Amino acid sequence: MDKVFTIRTVLFITVIVLCFTDLISPALALILGFIFSATLGFPLDHYRDKVTSHLLKISVVGLAFGLHIEEAVKASEEAILITVLSIATTLSLGWGIARLLGINTKISHLISSGTAICGGSAIATISPVIKAETKDITIALAIVFFLNALALFVFPVVGNYLHLSQHDFGLWSAIAIHDTSSVVGAASRYGEEALKIATTVKLSRALWIIPVAILSSFLFKSKESKVKIPWFILGFVVVVILNTYIPFFETSHIDKGFFFIAKKMLIVSLFLIGGGLSFKAIKNEGWKPIFLGSFLWIFISISSLYFILHFK
């Protein structure tokens, strides 16, 4: 027993350390967490949810060091209409389908938010606001990460088939692909101009996490409680403002350091979240969350492409 415990602890610490390298991606961290929990079990598992919650909140604040208000506003000037329409439509459609099919409201909201804004980062931000359970977060992340991986290969093929311009492809990928990493991956395969447009538009899209998080706190508040804006959302806003208007952060490269640490802490969080998933939880939720995520992704992909080609 002691030997198993020692091996488990060493492996656990090893994975945590590797999360701070480039060897473990967010999706891989989620999978490793699931495998680790199912085979060896997490050390001090009763603390996992609490630690995960704190890590997620701190990570969200740190991720704000990767954003500049002026750059985001400038990047959003051209894409503001399609950005607002796509976010509003995706959230509304997700809510409607969830009610129609009787899907767990927290899972459906996380999937909708991840699809509407920026994938895993949005889910990580919204989940503490609505007090989502670990299984809800994990299922939503798993669906979004799978569709992200699919988009990485599908989008360049469709773009070439339709002979999309660099500009149109960059805009399309920023709107319709969930995570920034997959947006960058797909756009870089298409061309330098597409990559530049995609990254700037995605940057502006990420700022919508703030109003959506505040909206979520209203939607999921209990009748007895008052609406409270979570401290980490306020922290996110403060850091974005400081990072934009205080040159010291950029000139000293402190912003890059904090942003790097925040991204790696988010990966550690995903490893811990993966440990909360079980086959029983997946079976209990069934096919409906997968259908919701797939439908929303296909809808936003087709509708945003049509909008770009006909109304830009």
Q: Kindly report, residue by residue over 241-265, the tens digit of the pLDDT.
A: 888 888 877 777 888 888 899 889 9
**How many structural domains does the chain have?**
1
pLDDT at 76: 62
pLDDT at 51: 84
pLDDT at 306: 93
pLDDT at 220: 84
CA dist 254 and 251 (Å) reads 8
Q: Of 235, 275, 291, which Cα lies nearest the Cα of 112?
A: 291
User: Which DSSP state fits 22?
Assistant: S
pLDDT at 155: 94
Supply the range of the domain harboring residue 158: 2-311
pLDDT at 146: 84
CA dist 67 and 55 (Å) reads 20
Q: What is the pTM of this model?
A: 0.78
CA dist 220 and 227 (Å) reads 9
SS3 178: coil
Q: What is the pLDDT of residues 272-299, one digit of tens each?
A: 877 776 666 667 777 899 999 999 999 9
Ranges under pLDDT 50 in the chain: 1
